[in-house]
A = this chain, B = another copy of it.
Amino acid sequence: MLQSRSMQRIKFEELKSTIKKAFIRAGMSEDQAEICARTHAETSCDGIFSHGLNRVERFINFIENGWVKLGARPTLEQQLGSIEIYNGNLAPGVTNAFFAMDRAIDIAKSTGLGLVSLNNTTHWMRGGTYGWHAANQGMIGICWTNTESCMPAWGATSASIGNNPFVMAIPRQEGHVVLDMAMSLYSYGKLEHTRLNHDKLPYPGGFDSEGLLTDDPGEIEKTRRILPTGYWKGSSFAIMLDLLASLLSNGKTTAAIDQYGYGNCGGCSQVFIAIDPLKMNDQPFVDQALKQTIDQLRQASPVGEGGEILYPGERSLRNRQENLIKGVPVHDAVWEKVKKFAGLE
C-alpha cells in the first residue's frame, strides 16, 4: 500500500530512465548516469525512499556546487598485499563505491580477501547497495563510510560524531542476508516522515529540550539530539568506524570532514572488504549454515500471534519484489521535480 495520498507508483524502468535523463542533463556521461540512476531507482524500489528518488535533486545540487566532480576517477595511491587504497578525487560516491567493491571482489577471487579503501570520496547514497552488489557476485561484502558530524556522542548534547553507516552482506540463493545499519537509531529522514504523518516513533529516538528521551520526532528535530543505536554502544561504534575508515584509507576523519566544507560526506573515507566464502567452505556447508540459522529464527515464538521474524535484508527483498510488479512508490511532488530535471515537463 502507498503510505500517503500524495504518492503514486511508477514502473521501475520509467523511474530509472527518468533519473538517468536528469543526470545526463546535469552533465554526467551515459555510463555514469546509467550506474547512478539504476542505484537511485533500486534504492527507492527496495523501500529506502530517503536515498532513492528523493535524493536526486540534492545530488544534482552537489554537482552544481562543485562538491562532486563528474570528470574525476579514483586513482591508486597504495597497494600492499590484498589491500589497495585509492583517492576518490571527489568523483560521484556511487561510481567510486562500485569501483572499490569491484576491485575488492577481484582481489578476493585470487587471495580469498580483498580490502579496498577510498579517501576523498563523496556520498555513496544507500550503503546497502554495495553489500547487495558483492552478494550478487557470490561474495561476502563488508563496507562502511564515515560522515560529517550529525549526532552527539554519548554524554554530549552537541553533534561531534557521524552516523557512519555499516554494511555486511552474505550471498544466499533464495535472497541475500544483508545488514545496512547507521549508528543513529533513526535518520533525520525518518523523523521528518514520521512528523509529517502525525505519528510517534516506535521507540524513543532522541532527547527533548528538557533532556528527556522522547518518541516525538518534532522535538528531536528541534534539539538535534538524535539517539545513537544502543545509547553508548552506537556512539562508541561510530567513533571506531570513523577512525578505522580514516586509518585504512589514509583519509579524513569526521572531524576533518567537518572542516572541509564540501557538503554532506564531501571528502569522506570508505572501506570495502570482499571475502569469497567458497575459498574456505564448500557450497553445501554454506547452504547449511544459512539454512539452520534462518530455520532457527523462523522456529522461535513470535511476538503476537501470526507475527513474523525476518532475517536481515528480507524486508528489502519483499519491497523489491512487490514494487517491481506494482511500480515503485514516489511522492508526486518529488517525481514532478525530477521529471523537470530530466526535461520532461
Contact = CB atoms under 8 A, between A and B. Distances in A.
Nearest to A114: B81
Given A177-B243, A236-B312, A253 B292 contact: yes
Contacts of A308: 155
Given A111-B81, A229-B230, A309 B250 contact: no
A342 interface: no
Stoichiometry (number of copies): 2
A29 to B, nearest CB: 31
Interface in A146-174: 149, 152-161, 168, 170
A260 interface: no
A277 interface: yes
Interface residues of A, number: 79
Contact of A236 (B159, B181, B243, B281): B181
A233 B236 contact: no
The winner among A170, A177, A280 for most chain B CB atoms within 10 A is: A280
Contact of A179 (B155, B156, B236, B275): B236
B115 A113 contact: yes
Interface in A107-129: 110-113, 115
Identify whether the interface residues of A are mostly helix, strand, loop, or mixed.
mixed
Find the residue from A185, A289, A290, A295 having the highest chain B CB count within 10 A: A289
A280 B83 contact: yes
A196 interface: no
Given A78-B280, A168-B240, A247-B277, A83 B297 contact: no
Interface of A: 78, 80-83, 85, 110-113, 115, 140, 149, 152-161, 168, 170, 177, 179, 181, 185, 203, 211, 213, 229-231, 233-234, 236-237, 239-240, 242-244, 246-250, 253-256, 258, 275, 277, 279-281, 285-286, 289-290, 292-293, 295-297, 299-303, 307-312
22 contacts: A81-B81, A83-B112, A83-B113, A83-B280, A113-B113, A153-B297, A155-B309, A156-B302, A157-B301, A168-B237, A170-B243, A177-B239, A177-B243, A181-B236, A229-B234, A230-B233, A236-B312, A239-B293, A239-B312, A247-B281, A247-B286, A255-B293
